């Protein structure tokens, strides 16, 4: 049996990349999905490809008015909302000295405030459905720091902490809140210059997995957390990072990868 049969989900940032991987897996598992994004053409095209089980809605995650409209549209179209995947996010690769105040605020607004606003907005709808799941997309960089990503790390550490606190508050109300922590996923967002996959994977030779991950890997993790199989997961941090945060290698010692 498909694990998400008869469930309805909203996936933010669902038009491409990790979000698209989540949307496709949810549909394959039997869910009906509202694809929410600012990439209107890509979002509409994906919804059209998937058919009646998917719908597209424009969503600026920093706008409560947008959230209220999308939630109402989801309930009108599919009758209920069982899950929200707060996946929308932005990333800026810059040294701390070069980040503008506007860039830092934008990263925090989208990556953290968007999650907080969306979680707050969807609570009544999920309660009307009898309970469900909220999945917040943090990052491997929400567990450990990374150079050139100071503001991004701050936002993703924030998502991690918010998830824990929300899980405590909403668990007794029948809403499970968990976070996913991807690391090194091959997407347009993480690879804005379009480096070929084989070359991109070389950047991840210091991971135990020896390669970058795929959006489908995150889709599988999200489908698990949205399903009844994860009924006892509340405040869980699910790392899907190829071993990035498992530890570090002493290069040249036994067990370390050989880099050429």
Query: What distance in Å separates the CA atoms of residue 13 and residue 243, rounded to the nearest whole number?
Result: 25
Going across the sheet that includes 237-240, the strands are: 54-58, 32-37, 8-12, 83-86, 132-137, 175-182, 237-240
Contact between 16 and 188 (Cβ < 8 Å):
yes
Would you state the pLDDT for residue 190?
A: 87
Look at residue 77 and tell me if it is in a domain. yes
Look at residue 161 and tell me if it is in a domain. yes
Geometric angle at alpha carbon 223, from 90 and 227, rounded to 5°: 130
| Known active-site residue 207 | no
Catalytic entry in 152, 186, 207, 224: 152
Distances (CA, A) of 190 to 93, 105, 185: 9, 20, 7
Look at residue 162 and tell me if it is in a domain. yes
Look at residue 256 and tell me if it is in a domain. no
Three-state SS at 85: strand
User: Which residues have a Cβ under 8 Å from the Cβ of 188 and sit 6 or more positions away?
Assistant: 16, 17, 194
The radius of gyration of the chain from alpha carbons, rounded to an integer in Å, stands at 18
Look at residue 1 and tell me if it is in a domain. no
Half-sphere exposure of 179 (CA within 13 A, CB side): 26
Look at residue 249 and tell me if it is in a domain. no
Would you state the pLDDT for residue 206?
A: 87
Q: What are phi and psi of 184, to 5 degrees?
A: 60, 55
Would you state the pLDDT for residue 1?
A: 61
CATH of the domain at 13: 3.40.50.720
Look at residue 258 and tell me if it is in a domain. no
Residues of the chain under the 50 pLDDT cut: none
Would you state the pLDDT for residue 36?
A: 99
Look at residue 16 and tell me if it is in a domain. yes
Would you state the pLDDT for residue 33?
A: 99
Would you state the pLDDT for residue 146?
A: 95
Q: Tell me the helix, strand and coil percentages in the chain, rounded to 5.
A: 45, 15, 35
- Judged on CB neighbours under 10 Å (0-12, 13-18, 19+), 44 is middle
Geometric angle at alpha carbon 230, from 225 and 233, rounded to 5°: 90
Tokens at 84, concatenated: 């929200």
**Structural domains of the chain, count:** 1
Query: What distance in Å separates the CA atoms of residue 62 and residue 110, rounded to the nearest whole number?
Result: 6
Strand partners, 134: 84, 177
What element of type H or E holds 40? helix 40-50
Would you state the pLDDT for residue 90?
A: 97
Tokens at 38, concatenated: 């600012």
Residue with tokens 């009924």: 231
Contact between 119 and 69 (Cβ < 8 Å):
no
Contact between 82 and 74 (Cβ < 8 Å):
no
Would you state the pLDDT for residue 259?
A: 85
Instruction: Note down the domain range covering 76.
Output: 6-238
């Amino acid at each position: 049996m498909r694990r998400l049969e008869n469930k309805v989900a909203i996936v933010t940032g669902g038009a491409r990349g990790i979000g698209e991987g989540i949307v496709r897996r949810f549909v394959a598992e039997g869910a009906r999905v509202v694809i929410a994004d600012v990439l209107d053409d890509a979002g509409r095209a994906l919804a059209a490809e998937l058919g009646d089980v998917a719908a597209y809605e424009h969503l600026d995650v920093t706008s409560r008015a947008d959230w209220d409209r999308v939630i109402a549209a989801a309930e009108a179209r599919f009758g209920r909302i069982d899950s929200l995947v707060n996946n929308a996010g932005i990333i800026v690769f810059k040294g701390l000295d070069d980040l503008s105040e506007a860039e830092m605020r934008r990263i925090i607004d989208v990556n953290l405030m968007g999650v907080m606003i969306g979680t707050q907005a969807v609570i009544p709808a999920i309660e009307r459905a009898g309970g469900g799941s909220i999945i917040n997309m943090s990052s491997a960089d929400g567990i450990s720091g990374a150079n050139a990503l100071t503001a991004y790390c701050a936002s993703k550490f924030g998502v991690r902490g918010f998830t824990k606190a929300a899980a405590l508050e909403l668990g007794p109300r029948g809403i499970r809140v968990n976070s996913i922590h991807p690391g090194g996923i091959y997407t347009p967002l993480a690879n804005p210059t379009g480096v070929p996959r084989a070359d991109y994977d070389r950047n991840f030779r210091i991971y135990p997995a020896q390669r970058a991950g795929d959006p489908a890997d995150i889709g599988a993790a999200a489908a698990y957390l949205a399903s009844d199989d994860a009924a006892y997961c509340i405040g869980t941090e699910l790392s899907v990072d190829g071993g990035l945060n498992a530890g570090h290698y002493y290069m040249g010692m036994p067990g370390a990868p050989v880099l050429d």
